[in-house]
Structure 1
Amino acid sequence: MTKEEYILLYEKYLKGICTAEEQKLLDTYQDNYSLNFHFLEVHDNQKDKERNARIYQQLKKSIDNTQPPKLSWYKHPFTAAAALIGILSIGAYLFWTSPKINKQEKVLASQTKMNSGSNKAVLTLGDGSRLILDNASNGILTNQGQSVISKESNGKLVYNTSGVSQSYAVEQNLITIPRGGEYQIVLPDGTKVWLNSESSLSFPVVFKGNTRKVTLSGEAYFEVAKNKNSPFSISVKGTEIKVLGTHFNVEAYDDVNTTLVEGSVQLKNKTQSVVLKPGESGLTQNDGRFKIEQADLESVTGWKNGYFVFHNKELKSIMEQVERWYDVDIEYEDDVQDKKFYGKVSRSDDLSELLKNMELTGIVHFKIQTDNKTKRKKIIVTT
């Protein structure tokens, strides 16, 4: 049974028109199709939009009028009804309108194993020495001045400070996250920072005086420890982010985009100064001015919570995240970079799962090559 056939059979079950034999078949195949992923291309064509809307409403009505079974095998924390609506509408759309998929490419995507990223980081101390954290044992790593640096389980680095001497010369540390890595650090003031792939954070081993300053490159999520007498600030590509105590995400691989989840932050550069409200994003534009807009919090913070979340995202943006997290190279053979998609998938899944599910849209396909010299994997994107 194909996935499309399974989805349509499940739709019949929700409508209450399954035979006993079909019910038994559905139960048999249930474990094979765990519905741990949903993906849909975004259509600009009005006719496609209207058709998808009709499918969605039909399936929503069938679900509302039928008591669905408990989806204990569904891997992600959606509500069962919401997840089922999204998946079934997509499944019906794929089954009815998708062109045939090149079987050779699909097999290649599904059979080539490419592991997800993991907790990886390098810590550079004030004297220039380097500690590879993914190889280090848990426990105390080193003492630096008045700080004890420890590695805890689940990829977390913790700085514990036993008091601050004003005469003590404060050293800077640098934590660097490579491609295919992520790491969490608890700074000397108790601020928690989640660092994404290809990111780095420079910070003092102890905060003293009336300021707490760090420098970021890449992407990080901050939960800043409150201290009204010592404001926390982040320097990133000419933008200064000032906070007292709040939760926010900063993405600065290209332009600087700050998204506020809780509290308030001030964005400041040579051109202007603005204050963000919860649920807003502030993007630093080429002219230096800030563009403020409502944020898609689930999409922005998905990486920190262990997911890729794509809401109306261009394929180029999606593959940039894939490139960093799975440590692969991306090459395009056809002009598909501006195609937009919806989707959600666990970052712990093998890359082949993401690729083969994107192929189900019939819009994009992938070929996987390995460089004989470097042994690096390359994903070639085609139509």
Structure 2
Amino acid sequence: MEKKQFLAILKKHRLGETTEQEEAYLAAYYNLFDSEPDVTELLNDHEIDFLKNQIRDNIKEKISSPQQQPAPKPNKFYYWLKLAAVVLLFFLAGILTFNKYKKVNLVSNNDVAPGSNRAVLMLANGRQIILNNAKSGFLAQQGGIQIHKASSGQLVYQIKNVAANSDTGYNTITTPRGGQFVVVLSDNSTVCLNANSSIRFPAAFSGKYRTVSLTGEAYFEVAHNKAMPFHVITHNQTVEVLGTHFNINAYDDENVVKTTLLEGSVRILAGNNTALLAPGQQSQIGKGSGSYPQISIVKNANTEEAVAWKNGFFQFENADLKTVMRQFARWYNVEAEFDGNTNKRLFSGEIHRNLSLLKALELLNYADVNFKVDGRKIIITQ
């Protein structure tokens, strides 16, 4: 993009006069900042100062007190483009000028790298394979199932010679804090595991159902098989599907189990209660509901926020600081400690998960949140 054209569109964005195509232009240009850092040479110091002030205004607009009501949701497509353009300003003012404008209330003796593809596979016989250290190719055989690590890094289960209704044993994949991993199951369903999560599943499915157990968070793309429904068992609920795309957030340190549907249809089973989700809806079940959990349905859920982690982002919509830091703690393998009341603000926005910890915190630091990083502990003060 030519510098003159870029700045002209950016000015129109500031005035709220951009078209959807121009917003898409900014969103696409924003993606270059990861792959081609030299694009910053388009800007001089005066222009960087302008953008730095602009981002502070954007951040202030994105922070509200708990008493304020969130604004009505705009069209999702336009919302995404608008958010991408805002994040462009985050990066220009918050990251690319990090050294020049580093604030004194972000104190650290070290930085922490972001998470990566890391997981451990436990086979039915108890053998453990550290997947991030394993080379691409054949890893193991279990019954008539061969387990491979693809060149893309995914773990793939392939049926070679399995007798009908035979018991091939259960496997477990566990990601640590600071890890994520993708597995393609023997029925061709794909599961993306977020950090600090695990999934237990049979090497080959048999019987009436395809049943797996999940702790933590995962995104599922389930292969259609009407004759053998797919079940995901988590805390206080079972999700039943035929073939669909959905996300489940069932971390132990979250108060609510959230199931968000993107495509298809799923049925939520919790105690004696059931609910059927349509695309764009989210079910919520409180952890403290005991033997009779209630299912709440959010009809117009923010599906982009629910699966942002899978797409390489943190995304927040009116989230308090403790919610933000729980996600940071899992991805960077750190502990968060709060000194004083820090729940007066709500955050909305998006941050790349490929940033180091200090660069991610710097964006929050511009919102006048004070951090001290000591080893793998983050101390947050009001």
TM-score using structure 2 length: 0.76
CA distance in 1 between partners of 2:246 and 2:144 (Å): 29
Q: Per the alignment, in what secondary structure is the counterpart of residue 306 of structure 2? A: helix
- Distance verdict in 2 for CA 1:83–1:141, change over 3 Å: closer
Please state if 1:27 is matched with 2:43.
yes
Shift of 1:283: 0.8
What's 2:264 paired with? 263
Shift of 1:169: 2.5
What's 2:142 paired with? 144
Q: What is the alpha-carbon root mean square deviation over aligned residues? A: 3.5
Please state if 1:178 is matched with 2:176.
yes
Q: Per the alignment, in what secondary structure is the counterpart of residue 112 of structure 1? A: coil
Q: Deviations over 1:92-133 (max 9, x none)?
A: 9xxxxxxxx994333x35x73210000000000001110010
Shift of 1:138: 0.8
Q: Per the alignment, in what secondary structure is the counterpart of residue 241 of structure 1? A: strand
What's 1:104 paired with? 104
What's 1:350 paired with? 356
Partner amino acid for 1:278? P
CA contact (8 A) 2:167 2:206 kept: no
Shift of 1:42: 2.4
What's 1:275 paired with? 276
CA contact (8 A) 2:177 2:196 kept: yes
What's 2:32 paired with? none
CA distance in 1 between partners of 2:90 and 2:155 (Å): 43
One of 319, 329, 332 as aligned partner of 1:326: 332
- For residues 67-82 of structure 1, the aligned pairs below 5 Å read 79=81
Please state if 1:381 is matched with 2:371.
no
Q: Deviations over 1:328-348 (max 9, x none)?
A: 111011210352101211101
Partner amino acid for 1:322? F
CA distance in 1 between partners of 2:343 and 2:285 (Å): 23
**Bigger CA radius of gyration:** 1
CA contact (8 A) 1:120 1:181 kept: yes
- Structure 1 runs not aligned, ≥5 long: 1-6, 16-24, 53-76, 93-100, 371-376
Q: Deviations over 1:268-303 (max 9, x none)?
A: 122301101111110112330101013111111000
- Structure 2 runs not aligned, ≥5 long: 1-6, 16-40, 72-78, 94-100
Please state if 1:369 is matched with 2:374.
yes
One of 287, 290, 297 as aligned partner of 2:295: 290
- Distance verdict in 2 for CA 1:161–1:365, change over 3 Å: same
Q: Per the alignment, in what secondary structure is the counterpart of residue 104 of structure 1? A: coil
Q: Per the alignment, in what secondary structure is the counterpart of residue 356 of structure 1? A: helix
CA contact (8 A) 1:260 1:281 kept: yes
- Distance verdict in 2 for CA 1:49–1:236, change over 3 Å: closer
CA contact (8 A) 1:213 1:235 kept: yes
CA contact (8 A) 1:271 1:289 kept: no
What's 2:202 paired with? 204
Please state if 1:313 is matched with 2:319.
yes
What's 1:55 paired with? none
CA distance in 2 between partners of 1:292 and 1:361 (Å): 32
Shift of 1:356: 1.1
Q: Per the alignment, in what secondary structure is the counterpart of residue 134 of structure 1? A: coil
CA contact (8 A) 2:65 2:344 kept: no
- Distance verdict in 2 for CA 1:356–1:89, change over 3 Å: closer
CA distance in 2 between partners of 1:49 and 1:148 (Å): 53
What's 1:44 paired with? 65
CA distance in 2 between partners of 1:243 and 1:12 (Å): 46
- Distance verdict in 2 for CA 1:91–1:202, change over 3 Å: closer
CA distance in 2 between partners of 1:13 and 1:176 (Å): 44
CA distance in 1 between partners of 2:69 and 2:261 (Å): 32
CA distance in 1 between partners of 2:226 and 2:360 (Å): 44
Shift of 1:239: 0.8
What's 1:336 paired with? 342
- Distance verdict in 2 for CA 1:91–1:179, change over 3 Å: closer
What's 1:135 paired with? 133
Partner amino acid for 1:215? S
Partner amino acid for 2:359? E
